[in-house]
Amino acid sequence: MKISIIGTGYVGLVSGVCLAAKGHKVICVDKKTDIVTRINNKEATIYEPGLDPILKQVVSNGNLTAVDNLRYAVMCSDVSIIAVGTPFGNGKIDLSYIIGCANEIGQILRDKNSYHVVCVKSTVAPTTTDTVVKSILETASGKSIGQFGLAMNPEFLREGKAVEDFMSPDRIVIGAYDDRSFNVINKIYKSKFKAPIIRVNLRTAEMIKYTSNALLASLISYSNEIASICEETGGIDVKEVLESVTLDKRFNPKKGAKLVNPEMIKYLRAGCGFGGSCFPKDVKALISFSESKGYTPDLLHATIDINETQPLRLVRRLEASLGSLQDKKIAVLGLAFKPDTDDMRESPSLIIIKELLLKKAKVFAADPIAIENANKALASDASELSFCADYKQALQDADAAVLVTSWPEFASISRDEFVDLMKNPVILDGRRVYDKSIMEEAGINYIGVGLEDVREVMCNE
């Protein structure tokens, strides 16, 4: 099929490249000519493992091109997929990009004689597609729904695994206004993907996306709340607690003699909290939407509150160990919100670093690929902040190290390296990747999320 994708950010580019790899003819649209040029030069404009080789292939074979001319893209395609950003700000989701895009597409459809389906892939609150987008398209085109199609096709892509998730999806959700709209979008996927295709109405498709992310985010905050209880009690390791809980067959059934170990249980792990482009934004947007309908979602409020205080809790524990943090050199290992991405949006590292700087610490932060984006995000706090591409530079003569992102190169740092590089090393393991006993055998003061030494608790009492 001929598909135009409006927006070449994370979702738009991955979707375009993967659909082109499945044999569709894809036109990616972006108003920024430098991005268009880079894509046509086979250069990925985002960091995502596995994306580069597929992009090179589909541009070379002509299945994907990029343009800055929306009219050309819509007129030359059967389906337009809207994949523009929907940021959250001022207490609500910002639909300005969606509104602008729908208006432009509608004006183009006024001059197009053939049937065309507009499909929203951007994450939007329920009622957005069937009210806001539909109304704009009808007004701008001078046509009634039915003369053009309307669909909502949410994405379920994990950063760092997006190509894998798109090419081998768990499910494909198609919200459709009518049969004809569904049949067109269904044709994109039916013969090319091995996954159940779920047909729902437009509002249900929108809600499925929000519900999925809100559930996973809630699991993370739940794990961190349990971790805090363990820390305050003493003598309990949250890692052992959650690992035992997830052996319950209702979480982790057996297939034959082996446990399935479903991906979901990975979200029942304590750590620094969640970040990225989806979870924080989507949970806040669902809260805002719910309250606009007169309902206060207390559980979702708690999910966000716990997540925002978790990084601060880590800094307080570090301060309790070191005393004053003023003039202390603190190594922050990891800036991106998770491994295999350079995404700094809502990363726990931002809260941790700002709090450390507020307490007059000298911060040396290391990350394999996110330094450029971190520098932009923290530019106003840069006086006592240094970025290091090499973790050894960050650890050299440091008073403490905080593991924020579990990059493999950080997770594999040996106890000997910590001892040799740092002063009287204190390690705050924000991802529980190090072995406490091995670290303590080397004389390292080890602090783990969800783990408090009984003697420290007794002293505090």
Is 226 in the same domain as 130?
no
| Residue at 295 is within a domain | yes
pLDDT at 30: 97
pLDDT at 384: 86
Is 269 in the same domain as 321?
yes
Contacts of 188 (CB under 8 A, 6+ apart): 1, 3, 19, 24, 79
Is 56 in the same domain as 172?
yes
**Residue 119 is among the residues annotated as catalytic for this protein:** no
Separation in Å, CA 182 to CA 118, 188, 192, 316: 11, 10, 16, 53
| Residue at 208 is within a domain | no
Please, what sign has the CA dihedral across residues 220, 226, 230, 236? negative
* CA dist., res. 317 & res. 157, Å (int): 34
Contacts of 18 (CB under 8 A, 6+ apart): 54, 163, 166, 167
pLDDT at 453: 52
* Side chain identity at residue 37, one-letter code: T
Neighbour tally for 114: CB within 10 Å = 8
* CA dist., res. 392 & res. 353, Å (int): 18
| Residue at 159 is within a domain | yes
Residues of the chain where predicted confidence (pLDDT) is lower than 70: 381, 453-461
pLDDT at 381: 65
| Residue at 362 is within a domain | yes
Is 140 in the same domain as 186?
yes
Q: Which of 119, 278, 388, 459 is catalytic?
A: 278
Is 147 in the same domain as 256?
no
Is 185 in the same domain as 309?
no
Please give the tally of structural domains in the chain: 2
Q: Which two tokens stand for residue 2?
A: 């001929």
pLDDT at 125: 95
Is 53 in the same domain as 109?
yes
| Residue at 83 is within a domain | yes
What is the domain-level CATH number for residue 34? 3.40.50.720
Domain with 247 in it: 214-460
| Residue at 205 is within a domain | no
Domain boundary among 148, 177, 200: 200
Domain boundary among 138, 169, 200: 200
| Residue at 356 is within a domain | yes
Is 319 in the same domain as 418?
yes
The torsion angles phi and psi of 173, rounded to 5 degrees, stand at -100, 125
pLDDT at 83: 98
Is 329 in the same domain as 395?
yes
Q: Which two tokens stand for residue 130?
A: 């069937």
User: Closest by alpha carbon to 24, among 45, 41, 4?
Assistant: 4
User: Is residue 60 within a helix (H) or strand (E), and if so which, with residue range?
Assistant: helix 51-60
pLDDT at 395: 98
Q: Are residues 30 and 36 in contact, defined by beta-carbon separation less than 8 angstroms?
A: yes
150-190: per-residue pLDDT in tens?
A: 999 999 999 999 999 999 999 999 999 999 999 999 999 99
Is 363 in the same domain as 249?
yes
Is 180 in the same domain as 223?
no
| Residue at 35 is within a domain | yes
User: Closest by alpha carbon to 116, among 70, 61, 161?
Assistant: 70
* CA dist., res. 315 & res. 300, Å (int): 24
Is 37 in the same domain as 137?
yes
Domain boundary among 145, 170, 200: 200
